[in-house]
Structure formats: structure tokens, C-alpha cells
Amino acid sequence: MTDQNLAIIVLAAGQGTRMKSAVPKLLHPLAGAPIVAHVLATARALEAVHIVAVVRHERDLVATVVERELPGTIIVDQDEIPGTGRAVEQALAALPADFDGDVLVLNGDVPLLNADTLAAFLEQHRADAAEASVLSAVYDDPTGYGRVVRDAAGLFDRIVEQKDASAEERAIAEINAGIYAFGAAALRDQLANLTTDNAQGEKYLTDVIGLLRAAGSEVEAVPVSEPWLVAGINDRAQLSETAARLNALIVRGWQLNGVTIEDPATTWIDLAVRIEPDVTVRPGTQLKGATLIATGAIVGPDTTLVDCEIGENAEVKRTDATLAVVGAGASVGPFSFLRPGTVLGADGKIGAFVETKNANIGEGSKVPHLSYIGDATIGEHSNVGAGSITANYDGVNKHRTEIGSHVRTGSHGVFVAPVRIGDGVYTGAGTVVRKDVPAGALAVNVAPQRNIEGWVQAHRAGTAAAEAADAAEASGPAAD
């Protein structure tokens, strides 16, 4: 049910300088989704009547992601006045003038915070009738964060930013998590009083706390139960720490759902992946995008699957696959490269050192060794010989190879597309198939072998090969 008294502001305008990146900080991926998408998903769960996102740096890129992830979000452009205070001031101005409920402010770069924690925080803010509440955490290393300054009685007094803090204040371990609940009216009043008179020349949202306190309002800092919940991402070290934390949560979630994950430390699973019970994930595996794995499948070791579908009881080992579908009971790997559009039927096989692309390989069909199968259709229960290549590209266009059912192709075959091989066909080893082959035919086109006797001794006299040939002839009659 929509909470008519709740508006959420997501701060997403900052530059993210510390990332040192051409990509806006909030669009760096975390478990397969942009950082800001995690914050938007949490915002959505709280069912606020208004959600505003403030953008500025790389505004179009960020706004596009916000609109995609949470349609209906009000996008507000921050002007040239910098700081989180200015961002909130402009966001507030975009709400209906008579909105008088609670305003929850979320930092776009604090992605692990979940809706349950925020709902409890909001509940406490409301129960205590505070004008401002701040989520805080106690960190062993609080460097970079704003510090929560308490008075002699231990009451929350104000927030001081790292860059403005005295040595004594920097020693404070309780930090401002950048998550706030405000009464809309009190917030509106105090935002008007902010100045840029500080080390960064910005309007700090955090100064609203001190102003409210000075005006006699009730403000409180609410420590979060688990400090990692409010970890902010400012640089790439924090990005990888946060990613590892989130991954550990995701892995554990699947383990508790009945998935065997042999080595959580080397298994990376994106948020959108779905895994059925009794799947086994072996070490060194990355499951990315919208990958789906059905029950009984064994994936890994050392396998990367991006947007793949793996069928029941299939086995995929030491494989790199993107946008591929592997049928029930099928087997892939080791050392296979499945590119987009690969569909392997039930009980099929793609074996060692095989690359596939836009390839539909039917039920029970096998490409076991050392092959490239691209732009091809293979029927059911066919076997493609070791070292086969579909020559799909004529330098200008790509063409298809169609191979029927119950076909046996010889080793080292080349299929020069476009070409069709009928049902039940055999091809000889080393055949270059340039013409269609009708059902039931044996196709061969390799020139008959000629043995030119004595050629090595005549043309390579004095070499080790010639001497070996001489020795072999001396020791017995040459084979005819």
C-alpha cells in the first residue's frame, strides 16, 4: 500500500571523483546491476507516494538508468550550486508544495541498505516524533565519512565532514551513513539557511542537523545493527569490498535454498540469476546476468555463464558461455566457448575446444572435439567429427550450414556455407563439403593418396629423415 506520508529523495548528482572513471560512479556494476539500481530497488519496496532522483553529472546516462529501473521517478536536475544540501533543496521543490509528510533521503552510493532496515528506521523516526533522524554506524576506520558529534550528555548535536573536522573530531568512530528522515516542513525551513562556507564550498545536507538542533528541534542518530549495511562506495577499493559483501549474501541465500556451492570465495553470482535446488556450483564459477540453472545441473569448475539457461542434470565445466541454452542432461566442456545463439538439445554434447555461435544443435547430437560450429543447424543424434569447421563467412556475408539427423561427419571436415547435409549422411575424413549432400549419401572429395617412393632420399639426401628411411629399408622389405 502506498505510504501517502512518505517521499524519498535519491541523491545521484555527484561526480564520483574518487572513482577516477569515465563511467559515472553510480553506473558501475555491482552484482550485475548499476550501483544506483540497488538503491532504487530499495526505494521501490518502501512504496512512497513520491520518489525523486537528483541528477547532474552525466545526467542523461544516469537519468536513463533511473527511468529504466524505477519508472515514474521524478527526475530533478541539480544546478551549479554543489552539495547534498542543494540536491535535497531542489528535490524538495519538485514535490507538491503542500506535501507535509516525511522525507527519506538516500545516498545513491550506499547500495547494501535494505528496505527492512529503512522501514524500522522510519518507524522509529515517526514514533519519536523527531524532526530529523540519521542512520549512523561505528567503523574501525571512519576515514572519509562525516562524523556524528554528540554533546557532553551523549545527545546527537551535529555532523562534521571529514574535511572540516578537527583532529579530535576525526577520532570519532560513529559515522553519518548518509541516510536521513526529515519532517518536510522543518527540512524546507533549514535548507534555506545553508551556506557553502566550508572546506568543500558545498551546501552540506548534514548542516541541517546542527541548524535544527540549534533551533531546539528533536534530532537523533540511530545506529544501524550491522555497519556494512551502510557502507558507501566512493572509490574502487570500496566498490570491490561492497561487491564481495553482497556476493557473500547472495551465495549464502542460494545455499540456504538448497544449492551446493563448493567454494563461496571463488563463486560470483549476480542478483538476477536464478538457481533451482540441488544444483552444484563448483569452484571458480561466475553466474551473470539473467542466467537460469535447473535442478540437478553441475556447473563449473572455472565456468562463466552470462544470460544462459542450463537444463536439468546438465553438466557444464570449464566453459565460457553467453546467451546460450543447454538442454537437460547435456554436457558442455571442458574448454568450450559458447557464443550467443547457441542452443544445445537434451543429452547433446559440446566438447573440448569447441566454439559455437548461432548454432542449434539438436537432441542427442554431439560436437565432441576441436570444432567451430557457427550459423548452423544440426538435427538429432548426429555426430560431428573431430576438427570440423563451418566456413560460414565468405568475406561479405554469413551463411548457414544445415546438417540433418543421424548424420556422421568425418574428422577434419569443412562445411562451406550455404550448404545442406541430408539425414543419415556420412562424410569422409577431410572432406570439404561445398555442395549439398542428399539423404543417405557418403560425401568424399579428398584426392586419392599417392605414395612417391624414395622421394625423401632423392630430395632430402643427408637429412636425418633420409637416413632413417635408408635404415628402415635396410632392415627389411618395404611395405607395398
Among 121, 156, 180, 204, binds ligand UD1 (CB under 6 A): 204
Whose Cβ is closer to Ca ion: residue 111's or residue 311's? Answer: 111
Is 399 in contact with 415 (CB distance < 8 Å)?
no
The two beta strands, 156-160 and 147-150, are antiparallel
Candidate list 38, 50, 57, 369, residue with the active-site label: 369
Min. distance of Cβ 82 from Ca ion in angstroms?
Answer: 14
Q: Is 78 one of the binding residues for ligand UD1 (CB under 6 A)?
A: yes
Is 333 in contact with 349 (CB distance < 8 Å)?
no
Q: Is 161 one of the binding residues for ligand UD1 (CB under 6 A)?
A: yes
x/- mask, Ca ion, residues 77-116, rule CB under 5 A, reads --------------------------------x-------
x/- mask, ligand UD1, residues 208-247, rule CB under 6 A, reads ------------------------x-x-------------
381 is catalytic: no
Min. distance of Cβ 175 from Ca ion in angstroms?
Answer: 11
Distance between CA atoms of 161 and 148, rounded to whole angstroms? 9
Is 28 in contact with 19 (CB distance < 8 Å)?
yes
Min. distance of Cβ 226 from ligand UD1 in angstroms?
Answer: 16
Q: Is 159 one of the binding residues for ligand UD1 (CB under 6 A)?
A: yes
Min. distance of Cβ 230 from ligand UD1 in angstroms?
Answer: 7
Whose Cβ is closer to ligand UD1: residue 237's or residue 465's? Answer: 237
Contact positions with Ca ion (CB under 5 A) in 211-270: 232, 234
Q: Is 121 one of the binding residues for ligand UD1 (CB under 6 A)?
A: no
Count of C-beta atoms within a 10 Å radius of residue 201: 11
Provide the Cα torsion 121, 127, 132, 137; round to 10°.
-30
The DSSP 8-state label assigned to residue 228 in this structure reads G
| Number of amino acids touching Ca ion (CB under 5 A) | 3
Q: Is 206 one of the binding residues for ligand UD1 (CB under 6 A)?
A: yes
- Give the three cell numbers for residue 282: 563448483
Q: Is 107 one of the binding residues for ligand UD1 (CB under 6 A)?
A: yes
Is 437 in contact with 445 (CB distance < 8 Å)?
no
Whose Cβ is closer to ligand UD1: residue 13's or residue 297's? Answer: 13
Closest Cα to residue 419, out of 376, 458, 462?
A: 376
Count of C-beta atoms within a 10 Å radius of residue 447: 6
Whose Cβ is closer to Ca ion: residue 231's or residue 343's? Answer: 231
Whose Cβ is closer to ligand UD1: residue 78's or residue 304's? Answer: 78
Min. distance of Cβ 234 from ligand UD1 in angstroms?
Answer: 6
> Distances from the Cα of 286 to the Cαs of 32, 265, 330, 332, in angstroms?
11, 11, 20, 16
Q: Is 24 one of the binding residues for Ca ion (CB under 5 A)?
A: no
Closest Cα to residue 376, out of 335, 409, 347, 411?
A: 409
Is 164 in contact with 198 (CB distance < 8 Å)?
yes
Q: Is 202 one of the binding residues for Ca ion (CB under 5 A)?
A: no
Q: Is 356 one of the binding residues for ligand UD1 (CB under 6 A)?
A: no
Q: Is 145 one of the binding residues for ligand UD1 (CB under 6 A)?
A: yes
Q: Is 109 one of the binding residues for ligand UD1 (CB under 6 A)?
A: yes
Is 285 in contact with 300 (CB distance < 8 Å)?
yes
Among 54, 332, 386, 407, binds ligand UD1 (CB under 6 A): 54
Contact positions with ligand UD1 (CB under 6 A) in 5-24: 11-14
Is 266 in contact with 283 (CB distance < 8 Å)?
yes
Give the residue carrying C-alpha cell 537437460.
Answer: 328
Counting every residue written for the chain, the total comes to 480
Closest Cα to residue 386, out of 427, 420, 445?
A: 427
Whose Cβ is closer to Ca ion: residue 88's or residue 325's? Answer: 88
Q: Which are the contacts of 463, defined by CB distance < 8 A and separation ≥ 6?
A: 456
233-260 CB burial, b ≥16 within 10 A, e <16: bbbeebbeebbebbbeebbeebeeeebe
Closest Cα to residue 318, out of 356, 282, 368, 347?
A: 282
| Number of amino acids touching ligand UD1 (CB under 6 A) | 28
Q: Is 91 one of the binding residues for ligand UD1 (CB under 6 A)?
A: no
Contact footprint for Ca ion (CB under 5 A): 109, 232, 234
Contact footprint for ligand UD1 (CB under 6 A): 11-14, 54, 78, 82-84, 86-87, 107-110, 145-146, 159, 161, 175-178, 204-206, 232, 234
Residues tagged active-site? 369
